[in-house]
Structure 1
Amino acid sequence: MKKHISIIGVPMDLGQSRRGVDMGPSAIRYAGVVERLEELEYKIHDRGDIEIGRPGKDEHVLASDGNLKFLSAVSKASEKLASAVDEVIEEGSFPLVFGGDHSIAIGTLAGVSKHYKNLGVIWYDAHGDLNTADTSPSGNIHGMPLAVSLGIGHPTLTNIAGYTPKVKPENIVIIGARSLDEGERVLIREKGIKVYTMHEIDRLGMTKVMEEAIDYLKNKTDGVHLSLDLDGLDPSDAPGVGTPVLGGISYRESHLAMEILEESKIITSAEFVEVNPILDHGNSTATVAVALMGSLFGEKLL
């Protein structure tokens, strides 16, 4: 990994329905992320937070589609984030993005993917985030960013940064899935997206899962983005998330996954999302996020 890391905070809470996740970037900073990474001899440039505009009273749902909440505000924020990430990569730095809800991945991937011919994505998450306005039970855009990045969804979102798609289905690996809507299952089968559910993690073990995921991506991609939703972990280890799902990946398994990714040297950008301090206990979820970043960036016990 590059020894220069640029942090971008995205205090976005419009992609879902539970307030408080906009404080996630501040919670992660408060948990000591800059100091932790500096101890690993990285040069850190904290670019601060993307400004997230508040929607007007008539912007709750796009009338013509009827099932996309805060579309205009989310798309504007995504354009700003895409531009910031693009600048970071142009400067030769590693983009590290803090959320905010998972809708921010739309902007992150739009900024990252233009620099790669075959970007790979590891989606570490309890959910597939492969819904569209037609399949989403809620209309919340944080359940749609992976579909959007595949070029599937409303054109305002799929064309962020002026191009689509951002990633190919054969270059995606979802790890930790345990809550999928029917429309997402159909899309996964149609597109042949590689998914390791909790069944595979339990059966194969995290070491095997990560080794297979890395082997699957390393020879056909020229960069790999890690999108880590803290709800990928079990709620007992990461309680401060908006959509907790029981039976998730353990704290230790997640550290192992990050350690294996660090050893592989394939990760070229990353984001950590869905830290909600309002729902948390003593900022423990942000502390977990920072600890996982430590492992991802090479922290060792000995």
Structure 2
Amino acid sequence: MTSTGLTTYVGPAGDHNDRAMAAVRIVGEAMARRLGAEPTVIGTPVPSDPQSWEIELERARGPLGELAARIDAVMADGLVPVSAITRCAVALATQPVVARHRPDAVVVWLDAHGDINVPGDTTTGFLGGMALSGPLGWWDSGLGAGVGHAVLVGSRDLDPSEAEHVRSGRVELVEVGPDLGDRLASVIAGRPVYFHLDCDVLEPGLVQTDYQVARGLSLEDLHACAEAAAQHEVIGVEVGEFEGDGRATADELIAALDPLFGS
């Protein structure tokens, strides 16, 4: 990986609780130790107050716009954006910017959930459940779109509409199981990679997360996915939904991603 622009986003993004807004700094500090870089901090934590997706999006729009400008500046300077983010909904701001700079890239989305609901089919009204479909251009968040290719990895708690999107081929799914890294590398198929990690893709208890979904990835599986991505050009990394250390620490989590960061 070439030189990086490290960012920690601590603001709101459709939060169910306040834990990620506090714990994200732990991930940012672990990234800083690995990369030898000082993060730029964007946003201000605010008390969570779960509401419908429209209200949550408007509450977060200002700081998410600041984050989008930061990612744009990083990429305009020829740096690779590496970000510690609170929630998956932050991708509504980051990924359209990445797509504008690198429309040839594929988003590799590691998440127990698909996050590809749209306003017309969401059963929960949760902003995070539409975090990838917005950048894909399936609905208008007002923060942009442009992602042309996305691959779900480890997603195993899919709503019926999300499962139908997978069956129809609108997005690809690489399931948990043997040879995970090899199967992911085959699907990436030589394209540049933007790597998104929602920590709930991991086996419950490895780190603290809002959701606990059984049959998740081990740290070894995560490392294999990072190795698969690192066989290609890695154009960015973001890590979200971390609420605290579990059986693994933030440093161990970032160590599992080490292939993404190169020498």
- TM, length-normalised to structure 1: 0.79
Q: 1:269 to 1:181 in 2, by over 3 A?
A: same
What SS does the aligned partner of 2:83 have? strand
Match in the other structure for 2:233: 266
Q: 1:90 to 1:104 in 2, by over 3 A?
A: same
How many Å apart are 1:54 and its aligned residue?
A: 4.4
What SS does the aligned partner of 2:73 have? helix
Q: Does 1:209 align with 2:162?
A: no
Q: Does 1:233 align with 2:202?
A: yes
Q: Which amino acid aligns with 1:121?
A: V
Contact 2:194–2:235 (Cα < 8 Å) also in 1: yes
Q: 1:295 to 1:24 in 2, by over 3 A?
A: farther
Contact 1:126–1:177 (Cα < 8 Å) also in 2: yes
Contact 2:24–2:243 (Cα < 8 Å) also in 1: no
Alignment of 1:71-86 (within 5 A): 71-86=57-72
Unaligned runs of 5+ in 2: none
Work out the CA distance in 1 between the residues paired with 2:252 and 2:175.
21
Contact 1:101–1:274 (Cα < 8 Å) also in 2: yes
Match in the other structure for 1:46: 39
Q: Does 1:290 align with 2:254?
A: yes
How many Å apart are 1:53 and its aligned residue?
A: 7.0
Q: 1:53 to 1:235 in 2, by over 3 A?
A: closer
Q: 1:207 to 1:197 in 2, by over 3 A?
A: closer
- TM, length-normalised to structure 2: 0.89
RMSD: 2.4
| Structure 1 residue ranges, 4+ long, deviating more than 3 angstroms after superposition | 52-57
Q: What whole-Å deviation, never above 9, does each CA across 1:96-134 have from its counterpart, x for those lacking one? A: 011101101111102211112323110111110011233
Alignment of 1:170-209 (within 5 A): 171-198=149-176, 202=177, 204-209=178-183
Unaligned runs of 5+ in 1: 39-43, 62-66
How many Å apart are 1:94 and its aligned residue?
A: 0.9
Match in the other structure for 1:41: none
Q: Which amino acid aligns with 1:19?
A: D
Question: Taking every aligned residue pair, what percent have the same amino acid on both sides?
Answer: 23
Q: Which has the higher helix share?
A: 1
Match in the other structure for 1:120: 106
Work out the CA distance in 2 between the residues paired with 1:55 and 1:281.
24
Q: 1:289 to 1:137 in 2, by over 3 A?
A: farther
How many Å apart are 1:181 and its aligned residue?
A: 0.7
What SS does the aligned partner of 1:82 have? helix
Contact 2:10–2:45 (Cα < 8 Å) also in 1: no
Q: Which amino acid aligns with 1:70?
A: E
Alignment of 1:22-171 (within 5 A): 22-30=21-29, 32-38=30-36, 44-47=37-40, 49-52=41-44, 54=46, 60-61=51-52, 68-153=54-139, 155=140, 157=141, 159-160=142-143, 163=144, 165-168=145-148, 171=149
Work out the CA distance in 1 between the residues paired with 2:215 and 2:108.
20
Work out the CA distance in 1 between the residues paired with 2:131 and 2:125.
12
